[in-house]
Every structure is written in C-alpha cells, then in structure tokens.
Structure 1
C-alpha cells in the first residue's frame, strides 16, 4: 500500500507578502527632487563615479569574498587597492571597513588594553568609542571638551588638558580624541600628538568627519600627517563612498610596529566574513575620485563659501564657525561643513530641519535645538542658491510678542554626572528599567546620545542627572528628535544599574 501523501498544491502568498515596504518607501523617497546637503558625500549625484560604475549591474557585482584573482592569493587587486589608499592618506597601512567608522573605533578601543589599563579620552567622542570601552573593559579618564554655551555644542580638547590628564594617569594606554567635530571644528592634532608621545602613549583620532582632509590645499591637513598613530576615517561621509564603508589608517609613528599586528587581529575579529564587495569597491572608487579629481574640490569649497557669504550678507542667521576663534582648542574649520545658527533667525534647528525637509525637499545633516549643519561632499557642487533661498523663507516663530518664553529659551547641553563604574561593569551589571524621574541619581546601564550627532550625554557607569533627563526628553520630543540607546522613544523610562 502506498502511504505517501500527495503534496498539497502551492498556496498563493498572503496579500501582505506581496509588498516590500522598506524598499518601496526608499524608492519613493529617491524619486523626489531632493537637494542633498547630508551624507553620504556623493549625495546621490547622477554624475557620481559610483553611479557610472554600478549602474544597473549591482547584482552582477555583488560577489562574496575569497575569490581568486580579486582578494585571494598573493598581490591581489584588494592588496593593491589598500596600498593605494595608504599612499593617498599617508598611512603605513590601511584597512577597508564595511561596518562604518564605528567598526574602526571599536577596533582601536580593543587593541589598547595591550598598551595600558586606562584610556585618556575626550568626553565628547562618538558613542561607538564608548561601545569599544564596553568591549575592551578599559578604565577611562575623560578630558572635558570646550562647550559653546550659546549653541549648546561641544568642540574639542587642548593639548594642555590632555597632558594634565596623562600626568594623573600612570597606566595610560592611549589618548583618544575627535577631530573634526560634527560642527567642523578642527583640533590642534600636532600639539596633542606631541603631548601623547611625550607621555609614551599613542594618539588615536576619530577623524570620521575628516576623510577628505589633506587631499586639497583648501582643506585642513589630515591627522596622520600631524602625528596621529591610528585614525578612523568615515569615507562615506564626505569622501564619496557608499554608506557604511570606511577606512582605518595606521601612521608611520613610534608605535606602528606594536600596533600593526594588534590592529590586524582585531580587524579580523570584528570584520564580517561576508564583507560587501560593493562597499569595498566604493572605497576604491572614492579614493581614485578624490586623488584624480582633486580640482573638483575647489568647486565644493566655493559652493560652501557662497552659502556662508549669503548668510552673512543677509544678516538674519549666523555662521557658527565665525565664533570658533573664541575657543583655544580650535585651530581651523572644515570648509565643507556649513553650521548655521538658526535661533539667531527666530527658529530652532529642529524646526528648520523639519520645514526644509517637508516644504523644500532639502536634506541637511544635523539639527540641534540651536542650529543646523549642512555638508557638501568633496567634489560635489550642489545648488547653493536653492538652499539659501529656502532657508530665508523659513518662519520666525521664536521672535515677537506671541512667542512663548519657555520655547524661546535655548536647550543647554548638560554636564555629565560623575562616573561610579567602568562602562563595561555598568553594561554587564544586573539592571532595572525605571521611570525617568526615578532614575535621577542612579547609575546608567546604557549609553544615551541625542542623535544626531551621537555624542553620548550619558555613559554606562555615570550618574543620571535631572538636567540630563530634561535635555534628552526635550530632544526626543522635538521634530525629528531621537535618543540613541534609549529604552523607549520618549525617554519615559531608563535602564539603570540595580542597587
């Protein structure tokens, strides 16, 4: 007797399975007439070398790793591409990353325990550096950045402050700073490198926003040329590769022999075994476009200068970088970042960003309570007139008798609470979720960062303050506001270390 069952006829998929909601939304978004003043640096330009290379062949080019003649064997094209990138940025060695500059920051944090027990680190680093502290288990001594009280933004640190932190940290492993900042402030990397080397430790620079530095005479010098030992470069931001692609550069400094094998091992630990050929190719193409087409960067700088000139001439808004001279930690400003004080013109940065997006199809990179930041990719030349005209068409709800005083008051950047545990200890400790008001005075188990830009306002192990809770909740309530790492979107509850 045949007991085999007859296969049931194939069923038609449920109607909801016929949709691809994310892909459909992305396609619809791309079909609008956007003016892109945000990352990635290629800004989806039809004339981009990426568009010409990938075109309709994306699926044809999406190969896995470990292919003979591409990335497997001696002297491969990948090896050649890495060597060309190292030469372009003045590195002893370069690694291509396919999980963003965050991956580079994590690698850098993971290798430092071989050099000491405590990382001397700028407090306003990106949250991925804090993630690296959780992974590495290092203690941290934080160097506080200068803060613009009017704008409520953090800048950089001075060599003097770094040297003082090193003097009180005998077991220092390295110094970790950010340059340039989200607002384009460039630190005195040379002086900070000298301070670190005098203390016998390397300098690691998160140069995520400066991947274009050193390529053109109108741009600031790159951190490697100023003495940095290890540099994270978010190539997709302004240098033109695809989103999530980045580089990690090792300098030719006194710590290169010690760091190179450590970085190589850590890279293999966190790099996907299925690294994207598309992302890797985009890094190679971005390097070529920057070096060969450096003259096009002249047009990018001129476009940014034109925007700043119009803003100064019309007088309603203010250019944030015009006030950088007041801060001793700032040596230059990135000319491709246009930071605009919108509160001076009667509108918050969050509201300006929302209206530019909704009513003018203009995307800017960063919004805070007081400002917006537009970016121009190296080699791009966007329609600056369209941006300045739309900007000056925005309403001024903060000006006039009808404006509420509480709304007019700027949102100040809160000072962090004291640290009670290391980031790793707090992250791995038993935790509770409590109402935000009850969390005041307790130790945070999470990294909480108003995003963008992603600088942590609270670190794991730090005491949560009432000022910080108010700042995060007001940020979350603003149009487009988001707090990275929050337990819930409204920051109504927070995760704290159990007593």
Structure 2
C-alpha cells in the first residue's frame, strides 16, 4: 500500500502558502534578524538566494502554522495519507531527531528495549536520554565484505522471549547497502510478544511509491517509523518525518510521541525545511514516472558493471542472507576490492579526479545512491568508475577490515555516559568500560557503546578506519583514536 488516491496528493498546501507569504511586501519587524532585506544582507542573499531569504519566516504565523485547518495541518494530513500512517510529524533535525523522540517516548512504556545492534548512534543517544536498558539482537554480517545487514524474525522472537519485560523492539531497514528486512514478519513477532515494532527506515522514505520498489514499513505493519525524507525522498538536508501506524499501539504511542516531540522540537523550526517536506511528499506521491526513470538508471548501472566484469554488485549476493527479504534498487553497492582498489581510495579518486560523489565507502565497497526522481549521468559514472587505477596486487585479506563483535554490556548506556570517566591510551582501554559511543562513519553504526567493554578488536578496527583515506570515527575525541574515554572504576 502506498497511495490510495493520488489525486488528493497533488497540492502542497504549506509550501504554496509559504510561497504566497514570501511574495508580499512585508515590513518585517520580527525574527529572523535578516528581515528578508536583500540590500542590507547582500552577502547572505547572494549565498542563500533572495527567494530563500523571503521564505525564511518565523514559526507560528497565522495563515501558515496556526489552526486546525492551517496549511501545516493539511500538509501533515497529506503526508500521513501518502504513507498510509495514522499520524505524521515533520522533523527539522533529521531522522536522528526521530530516533531520539521514539526512544524518549518508549521510556514511558517500560525500562527495557530490544534493539538491533546495528542501529544508528542516534538510537543509543536516545537510550542515554531515557535511561532504558537495552538487549541487542545481532544482525547478519557479510564477513567477506565486512558489512552488516538486518535481523531475522526468528532472532527477534528469541530476543523478545528471553526478555519478556521488553517495552518495544527497535530495528533498522533498509540497511545502508539497500538490504530490506521482512518487516511484516518482524511486526508479527513483536505483536505476538505484546510490544510495538519501531523501524528506523531512514534509508527508505521512497519505498512503496513505485510498483518496483519494496513495500514501506508502515504498510508492512510497523507501529512507528522514522523516515529520513531528505536521503532518497527529495527534501532538503536535515528534514525528515516520523510516521505512526494504525496498529494496536496507535493510541498510546500517539500521546507519548507528541509529548516527546514537543520536548525535542525547536521553537524556531525552519520553514524552508518544512516546505521541502511538503514538496517531497507531493513529488513522491504523484510523479511515479520520474521514480521509474531513476529505477531504470540504477538498473542500467548494474547491468553495465556486470557486463564490464571488473567490479561486482553487492546485492547480487543478497540471497545468501536469511534476513534479506528484498533489495532497494536505488542503493548501488559495489565491491571495489574485486576491481583492485580499496573502497575508500575509490571514493576519494572519484571525487578528486572525476568530480563524481558517492554516498559512502568501506574498505571494500562504495555505495552510490540515486534519489527517487533523480536522473544521474549513468555513463559518466560508469566510465569514471572503470577509469580508476588498479592499486591492489590481488584480493588479499589485508584489505578487509573485519567488523568487530561487540564487547560485553556491563552498564546501562545512560549510567556509563554520565559516570565519572577518564581518558587513557586506547590500548589501556581494552577490558575497561567505554564512556562513549564510537562509530565508523558512515554508516554511523556504533562499534562500541557506553557501558560496553572495549575489546582489542574494536580498538584495532577503529584505528584502522581512522587511518584510511576518508575514514572517520564519530564520537572520538581523538580523530586517530589513539585515546579513549573509559568509566572510572568505583573505589
């Protein structure tokens, strides 16, 4: 299910009202302080554009935000209808805000959460905020490429049976590499255990809006879905949505989410971001042909990569993993090691030598993303990819950075985060309790959490990641991860 009546989705009430508002000759004696004065703020107007200055308005204005039938209320109703949700919230701090809102709300349902271990670090930030204990479900891992996928319904069921006090289950799908889990089976398992299923669908805002795309999580029975609309849905960076499903937990979750949303919501939300969400929803809901063209471009890229024979397509091996129910065709993950070049180097050379940007790299792969409705120059990308030099003598194991298994969880994330701590040499941190969340980024999946024991494998992996071209460890005070912050043992 995606859109019951596409014709009802053809307007963009908030974006249209904002455009009309910006065209009036206001004397603006209000914030923001630039007052849309292009002459006085010429450098800002030159940077952002005069139209954007005029559309950058303060929140809570009559004719835009206020009232039960305001343009904003209409835009939210249309978004809920497009995704088949019971209710939708617009977010201006990304899906990370949505993950934190969800975690804060779930804290009212209990003190224990079952969580996919490969969640985004913002989910762990939410656990720090709400103080909940977490039990983790391990995802399947492609050991050869060193990438994590999703969880199976059987593994989630086992975790929920082991922890009957769990208040909810929190999973991630699609993965950064386009692997889509069986959300229907996961929802059935969660509901059988009497808990809601929360899905971080940051990479799947576009799902369900074309017959050749997998079903989106709300349609598959999820109770709460975090949607990073700016990623593949076409809104401006930092804009996202939070969707509430129609399941048995809708009433209680609606009240809790609204409360948590208000606690995290900026009182100065960007009208530009909000308007872009309204327009992205309309485009997804009404421009199926444009999405189809993007799918054709992605399929052409895969065919050409296979035909040339140097590189391989990661999704061609998805069938061997029991958690992968479908693949998102707008994610193009490429095994660069097969073509004789590390992923980080391939990404760097594509950008510096060919002015081609790809979303991310690991040591063995690159991931190219095609936005729903985008029309990339496929030939230029394929030619640039195959113009990369061979810098590896062979497909040797030295290239592979094996994902480290997490250490034992000895403290709740919140307790470890706020506990007295000290900074030590990374080698001295081995066997100690981490005070921080550290994650190779992208994709931002934590490799060590507050409360987990630091292992030698984690230290080696993070240091190797930081040493690679373009490598970055989110949360590290020392970019090279020569030092780490650990919980100070109690006397």
Are 2:475 and 1:485 aligned? yes
- Counterpart of 2:192 in structure 1 is 198
Q: Distance in 2 between matches of 1:364 and 1:147?
A: 23
- Counterpart of 1:426 in structure 2 is 416
Q: Distance in 1 between matches of 2:198 and 2:463?
A: 33
CA positional deviation for 1:129:
0.4
- Counterpart of 1:129 in structure 2 is 123
CA positional deviation for 1:399:
2.0
Greater than 6 Å deviation, 4+ residue runs:
none
CA positional deviation for 1:469:
0.6
SS in 1 for 2:219: helix
Q: Give the 5 Å matches for 1:273-352.
A: 273-352=267-346
Q: Distance in 2 between matches of 1:113 and 1:263?
A: 11
Are 2:435 and 1:445 aligned? yes
Q: Distance in 2 between matches of 1:241 and 1:213?
A: 15
Q: Distance in 1 between matches of 2:473 and 2:219?
A: 35
Q: Deviations over 1:323-373 (max 9, x none)?
A: 000000001110000000000111110000000010000000010010000
Q: Distance in 1 between matches of 2:468 and 2:289?
A: 40
- Counterpart of 2:237 in structure 1 is 243
SS in 1 for 2:366: strand
Q: Distance in 1 between matches of 2:390 and 2:416?
A: 44
Which of 79, 94, 116 is the aligned partner of 2:73? Answer: 79
Are 2:219 and 1:229 aligned? no
Task: Note if contact 2:150-2:179 (Cα within 8 Å) is conserved in structure 1.
Answer: yes
- Counterpart of 2:18 in structure 1 is none
Q: Please list every run of 5 or more consecutive structure 1 residues that lacks an aligned counterpart in the other structure.
A: 1-21, 28-53
Which of 431, 437, 453 is the aligned partner of 1:463? Answer: 453
Q: Distance in 2 between matches of 1:463 and 1:350?
A: 28
Q: Distance in 1 between matches of 2:412 and 2:68?
A: 43
SS in 2 for 1:142: strand
Q: Deviations over 1:128-178 (max 9, x none)?
A: 000000001000110000000011000000010101111111211100000
Q: Distance in 1 between matches of 2:107 and 2:368?
A: 37
Q: Distance in 2 between matches of 1:145 and 1:247?
A: 25
Q: Give the 5 Å matches for 1:35-434.
A: 56-399=50-393, 408-434=398-424
Aligned alpha-carbon RMSD (Å): 1.7
TM-score, length of structure 2 as denominator length: 0.89
Q: Please list every run of 5 or more consecutive structure 2 residues that lacks an aligned counterpart in the other structure.
A: 1-42
Q: Distance in 2 between matches of 1:356 and 1:233?
A: 29
Q: Deviations over 1:423-468 (max 9, x none)?
A: 1010000000001111111110000000011000001100011111
- Counterpart of 1:16 in structure 2 is none
Task: Note if contact 2:92-2:238 (Cα within 8 Å) is conserved in structure 1.
Answer: yes
SS in 2 for 1:386: helix
Q: Distance in 2 between matches of 1:386 and 1:205?
A: 36
Q: Distance in 2 between matches of 1:119 and 1:451?
A: 24
TM-score, length of structure 1 as denominator length: 0.88
CA positional deviation for 1:56:
3.8
SS in 2 for 1:364: coil
SS in 2 for 1:330: coil
SS in 2 for 1:479: coil
Task: Note if contact 2:142-2:148 (Cα within 8 Å) is conserved in structure 1.
Answer: yes
SS in 1 for 2:158: helix
Q: Distance in 1 between matches of 2:187 and 2:68?
A: 35
**Cα gap change, 1:172 to 1:230, in 2 (>3 Å):** same
Task: Note if contact 2:174-2:328 (Cα within 8 Å) is conserved in structure 1.
Answer: yes
Q: Deviations over 1:49-90 (max 9, x none)?
A: xxxxx9640000000101011101231100000000000000
CA positional deviation for 1:115:
1.6
